[in-house]
Each structure stands twice: as C-alpha cells, then as structure tokens.
Chains A and B, each alone.
Chain A
Amino acid sequence: MEAGTLSNPALRARRNLTDRIGDPLLRGLSGLAAALAVVVIVGIIYEVIHLAWPAIQEFGLGFVTTNDWNPVAKRFGAAPFLYGTVVTSFIALLFAAPLSIAISLYLTELAPRRIMRPVATLVDMLAAIPTVILGLWGILVLGPFMRDTIEPALHSVLGFLPIFDGDPSAFGYLTAALILTIMVTPIITSVTREVFETVPGDLKEASYALGATRWEMVRQVVLPYSRPGIVGATILGLGRAIGEAIAVAQVIGGANLINASLFHTGGTLAAQIASQFQNSAGLQKASLAYLGLILLVFAVVVNVVARVIVQRGQIGDADAEDLDIAAPATRAQPV
C-alpha cells in the first residue's frame, strides 16, 4: 500500500501518468463518497428540524405530552402517536422476541442440516416482503380475522381488563402490532441465529457431559452466552417497528386520541406522517415534521444502543466470565 510514497525520484518518474492521476483520484472519489454519507445524515437532521421549526416555536416541549390533534383548532400534540408507537412496538416485541429465540433454537440446535438451510432462507424471505403488501394483507385478511375471531375471544375471556374492553374492530393497535410482529420476527431471528451459531461447541459439550438435557444446556450455555446478541437484536427489531409507516398506517385506523382498548383505532408517529403529510400545510405540516423529529431521535438512539450492545458482546466476550467456565485455553491441546 506504500506505492504512493515512492521516495526515489528515478522510480517515481517511471510511474506512468495514469497511475499518478489514478491513485489520488480513486482515493479522493471514494473519500468524497464516504463524506457524502456523513453529509446526508447531518442533512436529514437539519432538514427535519428546519421543517418542524414553526411547530417547535409554537408548542415547545409541551408538544410531546399534549393529547390532542385538531387541525381545525390548530392544536397539535404528539402524545396519542407516541402512545401508539410505544404500545404497538412493545406488543410486537413481546411476541417477536421469544418467537425469534425459539426459531433460532430450532434452526441451530434441532433442525437436521438439510431442513435448516431452506427454513432459514424462508424466514429471511419473510423479511423481504414489501411492507405495503403486508399492510394490504392486514387490511383484507388479518383485520377481518381479528375482528371476527381473535378479538371476540380475547374480549370474552379477558374483557375485564381495560385493554381488551370495547368492540372488536378490524383496524386498531392490536392488528398493527401483529403486522409489526410479522415484520420484525425475521429481522431479530437472523441476528439471534448468527449469535447462537457462535456459541463454542466445547461449552455445549461440557454441559451435555454434566448430564444436562438439551433445554438445560440451552438455558445454561447458549442463552447466557448470547445475551448481548439477543438484546441487541431485539432493540434492532424495535428500531424497525417504531419506524414502520406504511403497513401501520394501513391497519391502525388513524385515530387522533389515546385509547386504552387495544381493539380501538389509533395512530403512531410514522403512520400519522404517512397518512397526513401530503395533504397538510402550515402549522399542521410543521407539527408532522415535529413528530418526525421525535421519531428520528428515537430511531437514532435505539440503533446506537443496539450496535453498541451487539459489538460489545462480540469484542469483549465477557460472557465466558459470566458462565464461570475457564477459557478454552485450559483445554487439552492436541500436540
């Protein structure tokens, strides 16, 4: 890589012209491209704040806690959509995280090789389905099924809880949460599966040798070893869930107020922007951009936290200490 700094003038003269231009050119161009990525992220932050500025001046931080969205009275607040975002994402992760762990366990510990590959590919394919198609499916297939079967059943058994109170409907928090579950499960699974695959075989064998059943081995070795990866993957899934605009806008029904019942229609930050931005102006548009700013802050924080956790898990490898098992170096080495 030191060819660019040849010190001998005779040698330097022999380098032809294209090389003298080519090296700095490629270095410069590629450096410029990298700088562009930084410019884009800074530009995104600047532009969202810029568009939201009138609303930020008008409402200040009180915007976050105002439970109102009234274009006629020009009163806007983020609370209904913050609530919707948190509730739908939380329910989605509540389903998706255990499901992803179970799928990854099946793929890494149980499935025969020739089944494991195709199943893993199919689960990845689930992540490739465009969200607008999931939304379409949510409106026309899942929604009616929720209204006619799932929600009446939940209501009759658990109706005394406020979250399962009210009339079943095709659109609402619960339907949106299930669509998000379908979206984020393959994303979480692909990370947890990779993490499970990195669990050292000798640790597993040690556990088996002590008489553990497969589940006991998983609980005592695989899960503790993979904990940072599982947490990081779940937070990555959270990032996708809070940012999804289209599929949620299609199935959540678009209400502007907080509602305790999960069957009720609601809104999320991203869905509200998607459904109102193009037909809004003035303070309403600025308020939508303000929702966008809150969403952006969420997304950046969530992603930074997830990366840090996953990376620390990979580099630090602190889990071996947690397990209280001596490093593999003490293992008998073949000579």
Chain B
Amino acid sequence: MSADQHALLLDRGNLKRRNRFNKAVEVVSTVAAVLAVAVLVIVVGSVFLKGVGALSLHFLTTPTALFGESGGGISNAIVGSAIIVAIASVIAIPIGILIAIYTTEFAPPSIAHPVRFVLDILNGVPTIITGIFVFGLLVEGNHQSGFAASVALAIVMLPIVARTAQEVLTLVPSTLKEAANALGIAPWRSTVRITIPTAAGGLITGSLLAVARVAGETAPIILLSSIVSQGVLTDPGEPLASIPYFIFQSSESPSATAHTEAWAAALVLIAFVLVLNVVARAFYARSRKRMGA
C-alpha cells in the first residue's frame, strides 16, 4: 500500500487525540493534588471554626465538669496528656536512639538488618493491639493507670524514633568518624562526642515527630487510662485524663455542648501537633544542611 510510505507525514490524526488525553491526565493530577490540600483545609478549617468559639482561658484552666453539668474545661486532660506523653518520651527516646546507635555503629549487617526489620514490623502493629498487650502486661489483675498508657505510647514511639535516628546517623560523614579513629579515640567517645552532636538536629526531628504522633493517639488510652476520677490528677499510678480520650468521649455524646467542647479540645490538639511537625521539619532541614546532605 502506497499510503504506508507517507504514514509519518500524513498520519497526524491521533496527535490531537494524544494531546487531548495528555491534557486530561494533567488536569486530573492537578485536581487530585488540589483535592488533598482542600481536604486538609476543610478538616483543619472545621476544627478551627467550630472550636475557636468555645476556646477560652476558662476552658483551658478548668477541669472537666461532672457528667451532665456544663461549663467544664480540659485542664485535667491537658495535664494528664502532658504527663502520659512525657513519661512515654523519657522511655522511648533514649531507647530508640540507643537502638539506632547499635545498628549503625556496632552491629554487623547480619544483626542490624533483622533489627531494622523488627522495628518495621513493630511500626506496623496496630496501636489497639499495643493497647491489648500493655493491658495484659500491666492492667489485668491490677487497675488502669497513666503509666500503662505511657508504656503503650512508648512502644508506638520506639520504631519512629529508632528508624529516623538510624537514617540520620548514617548521614553523619564517615570522614568525621575516621578522623576520630585515627586519633585513637575510643569508639564510645567518638559516638557520644562526635556522631551524636553532629546528628543532633535529625535526632530531635525524629523525637518530635514521634511525640506529635502519640499526642493524638487514642486507641491504647481507651484500654489503659479511661476510667478517670474528677479533678486535675497528676499521679501516673492512677488513670489520667487525656485530650484524645476527651475528644473521643465528647464526640460519642449526643449533646451539642459536648460536641462544641470536643471541637475546642481538637483545636488545642491539632495546633500542638501541627506546630510540632513544623518545628521538627525545621530541625531536619538545618541538620541536613549541616551534614552537607
């Protein structure tokens, strides 16, 4: 067929269609990105608009009212959350960083790799399961406590801290470590005095992200620290109030007042979490720049 010879010249019929299809895909991709940002704006916007009205100094400094009464606040939940998350951080951050030090500085690959794998599996364990684990470990035959919630949150934090710390520690330039070795400095000393300070920004990032992640964690708290007495409590041996559980409880209530209080508490929590995320990112950017990565 003679038309074949001219196919390249003549056959421009589908170019239009190809371009149109291309354009359509570009539009779809752009719409998808806009949609994702829009959902963020709608959710955060809802929380802000519905919560800001109920937010006041009174709300932040008054403990939750008795059941059926109004005019309460979330001071007990703020204090409880702070204690639970602080204890969890004290447990998880040092252990997480130690794990990272072990896998990056000491362990041979045949051990470091399985440890990483275990951390990934641990990261994939649903937090409600972590709650069941700590329930069987500390609460069954005993009673709920803020400390039990802390242990569960620490387990949730551990793989996040350890994995980010591993990533950052491997970014530390090996020339620094080699220089220390050449000077005859003991490995532990070069780790503590050189590797860790160089990676500090990234280590802080991982820790802050882990704190931000568990500050809103609700599932383990329902099993471990939900039967709470009145007033501002500070003894981690007893069940403590917390912001996520307050939001959960108020959201399940049919009362409109409870819903307004839930939005206000959600605004406090979301502000805390987002600020922590922004700060963490800033630390990470600075740290990477410092290590020339």
- CB of B124 within 8 A of CB of A239, answer yes
**B-chain residues with CB within 8 Å of residue A31 when the two chains form the complex:** 102, 106-107
Q: Known A40-B122, A102-B33; judge A136-B101 contact (CB<8 A).
A: no
Cβ B18 vs Cβ A216 within 8 A: yes
Q: Are A303 and B218 in contact (CB under 8 A)?
A: no
Interface string of B119-134 (1 = CB under 8 A from A): 1111111111111110
Q: Interface 1/0s, chain B 36-57, versus A by CB < 8 A?
A: 1101101110110010000000
CB neighbours of A244 from chain B (8 A): 126
Chain B residues closer than 8 Å to A295, beta-carbon distance: 126, 128-129
Q: Is the CB of B129 within 8 A of A48?
A: yes
Chain A residues with CB under 8 Å of B101's CB are 26, 30
Cβ contact within 8 Å between B132 and A133: no
Residues B33 and A103 in contact, CB atoms below 8 Å apart: yes
Kindly list 10 other residue pairs between chains A and B, CB separation below 8 angstroms, not including A47-B132, A137-B46, A216-B22. Answer: A26-B192, A31-B106, A34-B115, A36-B95, A41-B121, A44-B133, A135-B248, A245-B126, A246-B244, A250-B252
Tell me the minimal C-beta distance from B240 to chain A in angstroms.
Answer: 15
Interface residues as binary, A28-39 with B (CB distance below 8 Å gives 1, 0 otherwise): 011111101110
Fill in one digit per residue for A272-287: 1 if any B CB lies within 8 Å of its CB, else 0: 0110011000000000
From 19 to 76 in chain A, residues with beta carbon under 8 angstroms from any chain B beta carbon are: 19, 22-23, 25-27, 29-34, 36-38, 40-41, 43-44, 47-48, 50-51
B224 → chain A closest CB, angstroms = 9
User: Are A300 and B218 in touch, CB under 8 angstroms?
Assistant: no
B87, CB-defined interface residue at 8 Å: no
Whether B46 and A182, one on each chain, are in contact in the complex, defined by CB atoms closer than 8 angstroms, is no
Question: Of B63-71, B72-80, B182-190, which binds chain A?
Answer: B182-190
Residue in A119, A130, A137 whose beta carbon sits within 8 Å of that of B217 in the complex: A130
Instruction: Decide if B120 touches A125 in the complex (CB within 8 Å).
Output: no
Quick one: which of A4, A126, A215, A244 has the most chain B CB within 10 A?
A215
Chain A, residue nearest B151 (CB): A40
Complex interface: stretch among A105-113, A158-166, A318-326 = A105-113
Question: In the bound complex, do residue A119 and residue B248 qualify as a contact, i.e. CB atoms below 8 Å apart?
Answer: no
- Are A136 and B122 in contact, CB atoms less than 8 angstroms apart? no
Against A, the Cβ 8 Å flags (1 = close, 0 = not) of B211-228 are 011011111001100110
**Total chain B interface residues with beta-carbon distance under 8 A:** 95
**Which chain B residue has the least Cβ–Cβ distance from A273?**
B128
Contact B121 A303 (CB under 8 A): yes
Main secondary structure of the interface of B (DSSP, over half): helix
* CB-based contact B127/A243 at 8 Å: yes
- In the complex, the answer to whether A99 meets B32 with C-beta atoms within 8 Å is yes
Complex contact B36–A99 (CB within 8 A): yes
Pick the residue among B36, B99, B188 that contacts A33 (CB under 8 A).
B99
Closest residue of A by beta carbon distance from B158: A37
Check: B35 CB closer than 8 A to any chain A CB.
yes
Chain A residues with CB below 8 A from B158, complex form? 37, 40
B36 contacts A123, C-beta separation under 8 Å? yes
CA distance A302 to B125 in the complex (A): 10
Nearest chain-A residue to B154 (Cβ)? A40
Known: A31-B107, A111-B33. Is A40-B155 also a contact (CB below 8 A)? yes
Within 8 Å of chain A (Cβ to Cβ): is B176? no
Contact A123 B37 (CB under 8 A): yes
CA distance A30 to B98 in the complex (A): 5
Instruction: List B residues at the A interface (Cβ < 8 Å).
Output: 18-19, 21-22, 25-26, 28-33, 35-37, 39-40, 42-44, 46-47, 50, 95-96, 98-99, 101-103, 105-107, 111, 115, 117-133, 135-137, 140, 155, 158-159, 162, 181, 184-189, 191-192, 212-213, 215-219, 222-223, 226-227, 244, 247-248, 251-252, 259, 262-263, 266, 269-270, 273-274, 277, 281
Which residues from A are CB-within-8-Å of B263? 136, 140
Q: In the assembly, what is the distance between CA of A33 and CA of B101, in Å?
A: 10
Q: Does A257 contact B (CB under 8 A)?
A: no
Would you call A277 and B223 a contact (CB within 8 A)?
yes
Q: Does A133 lie within 8 Å of B47, measured CB to CB?
A: yes
A19 to B128 CA separation, bound complex (whole angstroms): 44
| Residues B273 and A292 in contact, CB atoms below 8 Å apart | no
Q: Judge whether A312 is part of the interface by a CB distance below 8 angstroms.
A: no
**Does A150 touch B at the CB level, under 8 Å?**
no
Are A110 and B30 in contact (CB-based, < 8 A)?
yes
Please determine whether A246 and B125 come into contact, CB atoms closer than 8 angstroms: no
List of B residues within 8 angstroms of A335 by Cβ: none
Interface assignment of A128: CB less than 8 Å from any CB of chain B? yes
A-B contact pairs, 15 of them (CB 8 A): A3-B185, A27-B188, A30-B101, A33-B102, A37-B119, A41-B122, A123-B36, A123-B40, A139-B251, A215-B22, A239-B124, A250-B248, A273-B132, A277-B223, A299-B124
A245 to B128, CA, bound (A): 7
